[in-house]
Copies of this chain bind each other. A is one copy, B any other.
Amino acid sequence: MSKGVINKPFFIFNPKSYLYGNELLDLAVLADELASKSNISVFVTAPYSDLKLVSENTEHVIITAQHMDGISPGRGMGHVLPESLYEAGARATVLNHAEHPMTLNELVQSMNKAKELGMVTIVCADSLAEATAIAKLNPDILLCEPTELIGTGQTSDENYIRQTNEAIKNVNDSILVMQAAGISTSEDVYRTISLGADGTGATSGIVKADNPRQALKDMIQAADRAYQSRDGKE
C-alpha cells in the first residue's frame, strides 16, 4: 500500500474498542461493499486481534491498526509488533492518537517501521502546534483533532478547518489532511469535506447510531458527494 493509492476524499471508519468480532465484521463487510462502488478510499480500523478476521473478509477497504510500536521482531513482550500486523493484513496504522499518545521518539520509530513495511501512517495531532511539527515527519495522513472537541458533537468550525489545512500544507503540501473532530452525522461529513478536508471519519456517530449500518452508508456517500461537488467548483 503506498500513498499513491489513497483516493481523495478518504473516509476512516474507526470503531476503536467499541466493536470486535462479528459485530465489527458485519460493518467492515458493509464498508467494503460501499468502497467497491465508489472512488473513495475507505479505511477500517480494528482491534489488533481482529485485523486478520476483517482482512480475510474484505477486499476494498484498507485494514488499519489502531496503534503500532516501532519495534522489530525480538523481545518486546506485550508490544505491538509491526510485522505481525502486516502479516495479519494491516496496510495502515493510526499513530499518536489522543487515547494513546506517543513520545516523539516512539513516533519517529513507528513511522520508520511503517515506511519500511509500506504501511500508510495516519498520525494524530491535538493542536496546530503539534500538527506543524508532525508535518515535518512526512506522515501520509495528518489527523487534526483538537482534544477538547473529540466526541462532543461540535464540528470543527470553518475557520479552524481552513487554518489547519493551510498551516499543514504550507509545511508539507504532500500530506493528506483529515479532520474528524465532532463528526456525528453525514451532514458533518459533507460539510467537513466541503470545507477542504482531504478526508474525515467517525467513531461514535456510527457505533452509537440507532442504525449503525445506515449511518456508515450515509457518511461514506456524503463524503463522496461533497468532494465531487467541491471538485466541480474548483
Given A49-B51, A51-B49, A135-B136, also A17-B105 (CB < 8 A): no
Q: Establish whether residues A126 and B105, one from each chain, have CB atoms under 8 Å apart when the complex forms.
A: yes
Q: Establish whether residues A83 and B20, one from each chain, have CB atoms under 8 Å apart when the complex forms.
A: yes
Given A52-B49, A77-B14, A84-B20, also A104-B105 (CB < 8 A): no
Q: Establish whether residues A103 and B101, one from each chain, have CB atoms under 8 Å apart when the complex forms.
A: yes
Within 8 Å CB of A88, what residues of B?
21, 49-50, 53
Number of copies: 4
Q: Which of A118-143 contact B (CB under 8 A)?
A: 125-127, 129-130, 132-137
Q: Establish whether residues B129 and A84, one from each chain, have CB atoms under 8 Å apart when the complex forms.
A: no
Q: Establish whether residues B77 and A67, one from each chain, have CB atoms under 8 Å apart when the complex forms.
A: yes
A96 CB–B CB distance under 8 Å? yes
Of B67, B132, B147, which is within 8 A of A136 by CB?
Answer: B132
A108 CB–B CB distance under 8 Å? yes
